[in-house]
Amino acid sequence: MIVYGDPRFGIEAKEFIQHLERQTALIHWDNLDAARSVLIQCGQFEQGIMDQYEEQNKSLIQSRVQTVTDSASTLFYALLFDACRKLPEPRYEIRTALDHLQSALQQVQDINNVSLQIKVPEGFEFYTLYPEQYCFAACKWCSHHVSVPPRKKAVVIGLRSIGTSLSALVATTLEVVGWETLRFTVRPRGNPFEREANIPDIDLTDIAQVLIVDEGPGISGSSLTAVVQVLLEKSFPLECITLFPGHAGEPGCFASPRVRSIWSSIPKQIVTLDELHWNNRSLPELLTSKSEEMFHPAVFDGIEDLSAGLWRRHAYPNASEWPCICLTFERTKYLCSASGSLAIIWKFIGLGSLNEKCSNSYDLVRRSQVGPTKNLHLPVLGLFNGFMALPWIGGRRLLCSDASNPLILGTIAQHIIASSIPSQSEERNAAEITRLGQMLQGNTMESLGERYAHCINRSIGVALNQSPGLNYGDGHLGPHEWIQTPQGALFKVDNFGHRIDHTIVGTQSILWDIARATIEWKMNRITSAAFYSIIESAGVAIPPDALTFYRMAYAAFRLGQISLCRTSTTSETWELIHSQHAATYHREYLAHELELQTSETG
């Protein structure tokens, strides 16, 4: 089933450079968050340029852009050393490193103003992957390779996209302890389950070691091993290659025997999130300390991991009431508790990669705090180390039956309208709808067979020609996303950032949120008619045939998500029961909509 997407956006090169200059000017000696964000964004700029000129001989441009990322890496290393003192001493002090970065940005000012396609690095943005993990992993690697004589020379290969900034940081760390490095990046291409890679034609005879850096392995593991395969074909010894992956797991269920064979036989260097420490403090300890700083003199005496759906233990009296969620896409969360009723939930929102034109996840959080329905949203208490702090409030999670309450139904409708954003260009909208239609086709064929292909094609055509002129702004609208306090106040949780995630959905019409709410709240014909009437009375047109496309698309997408969840879940009885019920509901909903479309088209 089709579930995953590849989030990206377009931006002009000169606009990106100007943005990087503004962000660099905000860095000061104790702001590791700002330096990390700039490192990540410089890596995104390098990715965009390298992809743009991959087939052209633009070595001077590429070299200068790579120097920008290398300089950002040197600055980040200096700040990290200042914060940790557990690393080898940097080559440059913070002020000197900052000057080098500003100078490197000056050197790319005369670049042609080409339009770049920038990818959002998923590990940094969605999966709590810190550049620091690779820095400490490189330190561990250096401690195991101290006796390589006589000339210590290593090649560091980053896999685009995320491998730009990560390979720069690994190379910086090696250089600090005396290694001479050659760094470049590659873009594996081809079948996603059997990637192929090309590397520059370089002389490997005097290279002692090759380090390959990425956030994988993914479901096939073929990107990392594709680079290994090329090196082996060039007769480079396997024992002199080390992989720097993002986690300690094996390649996923689509890995070929060849990939698994290479993976099992090659050294890997990893520092997990649990192993990562800043000044001898783990991530939970760091968040606890920040909570106490924010709420002095309160003492926070407990922190609990609420990731992977564990938040439901606090939201529901027993597991039989848990909503079905896709654990794969759950963000990292921690609950910090103080004496009394004070509790804060820290939710990972990203490390500051650019995910729209000149904006990041922190900017999206700030925007979510304004608008006509801002009182529905929990107040953001702080932003720190890639996490957003929110108050944990007690109350009742809403149920599907609550949609029969006109006040609640109206609140949902108002929230959808208030969180919407202006539509994009017709060309961009068409591309987004077409991609969603391909998912609908693929997931329907896999779950229900081929007989509905004709009516799906017709429905896609309708959606392409009928748009309300607004795009959705929330994306998570199930009953469990709403809390009613004992005093009767309603709060919408998890209300931003879902237009930019790791799914196929992307930026769609406001009809996506309307369809999602209709399905997740299990609205009957009378309730859904009242719901649509409230929205249309606010001036938002709801073309019926286009809405049908989005209802079918959402049901097909959710069916794919649940299937993915079921393959990755443990043997928890209630988890399996909930996913089975949810899969049946969405499959039947999709089949019903398709049958109606088939009968209407004859």
**Rounded percentage of the chain residues whose pLDDT exceeds 90:** 76
pLDDT at 600: 73
- Asked if 20 and 42 count as a contact pair (C-beta separation under 8 A), the reply is yes
Domain ranges of the chain: 8-265, 283-391, 396-600
Q: Three-state secondary structure along 143-194?
A: HHCCCCCCCCEEEEEEECCCHHHHHHHHHHHHHHCCCEEEEEEECCECCCCC
The pLDDT of residue 565 is above 80: no
Q: Is the pLDDT of residue 374 over 80?
A: no
Tokens at 127, concatenated: 């999966």
Query: 16-22, long-range: CB within 8 Å, 24+ apart, which pairs?
Result: 16/45, 16/48, 16/116, 16/118, 16/354, 17/45, 17/105, 17/108, 17/109, 17/111, 19/354, 19/358, 20/45, 20/68, 20/105, 21/102, 21/105
What is residue 601's predicted lDDT score, i.e. its pLDDT? 65
What gap in Å lies between CA 256 and CA 267, rounded to an integer? 19
Q: What is the tens place of the pLDDT at every residue in 323-352?
A: 999 888 899 999 999 988 899 999 999 999
Mean pLDDT of 39-66: 90
Using the predicted structure, report yes or no on whether residue 568 has a pLDDT greater than 70: no
257-265 vs 222-233: helix axis angle to the nearest 10?
Answer: 70
pLDDT surpasses 70 at 369: no
pLDDT at 83 over 60: yes
Residues in contact with 176: Cβ distance below 8 Å, sequence separation at least 6, in sequence order: 77, 87, 88, 89, 90, 91
How long is the chain? 602
CA pair distance 177, 172, nearest whole angstrom:
9
Name the phi and psi angles at 105, rounded to 5: -65, -35
Confidence of residue 602 (pLDDT cuts 50, 70, 90): low
Grade residue 416 by pLDDT with cuts at 50, 70 and 90.
very high
Strands 387-391, 343-348: pairing is: antiparallel
* 436 φ/ψ angles, rounded to the nearest 5 degrees: -65, -40
Mean pLDDT of 26-33: 89
pLDDT score recorded for residue 402: 97
What's the average model confidence in pLDDT over 395-404?
96
Mean pLDDT over each residue of the chain, to the nearest integer: 91
The runs of H, that is alpha helices, within 158-317 are 163-176, 222-233, 257-265, 283-294, 312-315
Q: How far apart (Å, rounded) are the C-alpha atoms in residues 13 and 111? A: 8
**Total-model pTM:** 0.94
| Residue 571: per-residue pLDDT | 55
Task: Tell me: pLDDT of 16 over 80.
Answer: yes
Q: Residues 214, 218, 224, CA angle at the centre, nearest 5°?
A: 45
Strands across the sheet containing 153-159 = 180-186, 153-159, 209-213, 241-244
Answer whether CATH 3.40.1160.10 is correct for domain 396-600.
no
> Picking from 93-107, 357-371, 418-432, which range would have the lowest pLDDT averaged per residue?
357-371
Share above pLDDT 70 across residues of the chain, in percent, rounded to a whole number = 94
